[in-house]
A and B are shown apart, each in its own frame.
Chain A
Amino acid sequence: MSNRGPVATHRSSTGIPTGRLATWWVVASEIFIFGGLIACFVLFKLNGTPGFEDASKTSVAAGAFNTFVLLTSSLTIVLAHAAIESGERKKAFNYIWCTIGGGIVFLIVKTYEYSGKIISGDTITENLFWSFYYTMTGLHALHVIGGMVIMALISFDILKGYNFQRVELIGIYWHFVDLVWIFLFPLFYIANF
């Protein structure tokens, strides 16, 4: 595995590669961003705040399909990691682009959902449920877009033969994005009580 570049590649105090340690720090900070929003959502729901019954208006099929897409994209990015570790650059490149494809499908479904909801009058200012819905799923979608851009950049790097370790790092990030959706799905789509 290539580790070229003027960076300290390992932290002697932890024995963990710098990039991976940094990625885990990102994950830790993201836990607060999404966790804080989820915590507030749960508290308002438990308090019986009006508007949360609108969860019945979201499409379970679309949410479930998007969960399936993200789970599958998690599989392809971890397979890319396994492929690059065994030196199969082209295979890793293909798996990364399958993952990006998954991200695109996810965003298309999300756009379809957003447009349907906005047309029917369920906008971000309608009530607290929709405020949470658009804020959290929108923030999540931004993370998906960011992950896709970084993955595309990494894919060309590995074809050129360097920064292989970044496949694992973007994988950790992408799995976290998947993990967040695993919780958003029941909150917004199936908890209608």
Chain B
Amino acid sequence: MSGTHTHPNYVKIWFWLVILLVISTVGPMLEIPIITLITAFGIAVVKAFMVASNFMHLKFEKHIIWFMMIMSLILLGVFFFGVAPDIMQTKGDQWIDCISDNSCVEQRL
């Protein structure tokens, strides 16, 4: 990568990142959850892509680096959905609500 590409206009990219930061900070002030979701997390994804692509020079990297990054994210997705039932699904024969009656602490003791 180094020496094989011209450097983009970094100041211009930084400027747009700052604009996006302002939007993501002001957006939630409207107190509309869907707007907050878009302005906070949607813009975070855009900012992350801009940083990775331009500052980390991912757009100039070989495919194997893209492959590494995409595989990492896919495996993270596997982790997310693998752990999700443990956190989200708390109803069933094996689940006890030990937090309310403090029996978790007693079991450990």
Contacts and interface: CB of A to CB of B under 8 A. Distances in A.
Interface in A147-182: 165, 168, 171-172, 175-176, 178-179, 182
Contacts of A17: 2
Main secondary structure of the interface of A (DSSP, over half): helix
B69 to A, nearest CB: 7
B105 interface: no
A112 interface: no
B73 A71 contact: no
Interface of B: 1-3, 7, 10-11, 13-14, 17-18, 21, 24-25, 28, 33, 36-37, 40-41, 44, 47-48, 51-52, 55-57, 61-62, 64-65, 68-69, 71-73, 75-76, 79-80, 83-84, 87-88, 90
Given A27-B69, A168-B2, A186-B24, A82 B10 contact: yes
Given A16-B62, A192-B28, A39 B69 contact: no
A60 B25 contact: yes
B36 A193 contact: yes
A35 interface: yes
B72 A28 contact: yes
A12 interface: no
Interface stretch (A43-51, A103-111, A119-127, A138-146): A43-51
A58 to B, nearest CB: 12
B51 A183 contact: no
23 contacts: A16-B64, A24-B68, A28-B72, A31-B69, A43-B83, A43-B87, A44-B87, A74-B51, A75-B10, A75-B55, A78-B55, A82-B7, A168-B2, A171-B56, A178-B55, A179-B51, A182-B51, A183-B48, A186-B24, A186-B40, A186-B44, A191-B36, A191-B37
